[in-house]
Amino acid sequence: MQFNEPERPAFGETILPMINVVFLLLIFLMLMGHISQRPALDIDPAESALSEEKGASLMLFVDAQGAVQFQSHMQRDEAFAALKAALQEDTEARDLVIRADAGADFAKVLELAQMFQPYSKGEVKLEVRQR
């Protein structure tokens, strides 16, 4: 007497729903995740005992040597021109946040804040890290 071998379940069919779930989770996380702007400059902000909630704002980065970065603009004149244009086009009155290294010359950082204050519809703030 001859018996037929039982059919084996296909492995591809049982793993397909799990792959679909993983891709749906990946898409969900990509849509819901928030990617913050990371500066290309190496910055170690000064410390403060007080902290504020951060909202949507324009960020200007200043390193210890005085180099500046705004968005992807690394050249000083290019960064300043892009920042002035962004401040003038800003309809939401966002704040300008200057994130300066603790080793940066404070007089130069203050000069930057005063330079961009007339263009800003919001406040010009210096960001420090909490102790």
Tell me, what's the pLDDT at 131? 44
Report all structural domains of the chain as residue ranges with CATH numbers, in order of start.
47-130 (3.30.420)
H or E element that contains 129: strand 129-130
Tell me, what's the pLDDT at 7? 79
Q: How far apart are the first and last CA of the chain?
A: 83
Distance, CA of 91 to chain centre? 20
Tell me, what's the pLDDT at 130? 53
pLDDT 10s digits, 42-63: 767 666 655 555 556 788 888 8
H or E element that contains 127: strand 124-127
Average pLDDT over residues 84-112: 85
Tell me, what's the pLDDT at 129? 64
Tell me, what's the pLDDT at 128? 67
pLDDT for residue 123 is more than 80? yes
Average pLDDT over residues 92-114: 86
pLDDT above 70 covers what percent of the chain?
A: 76
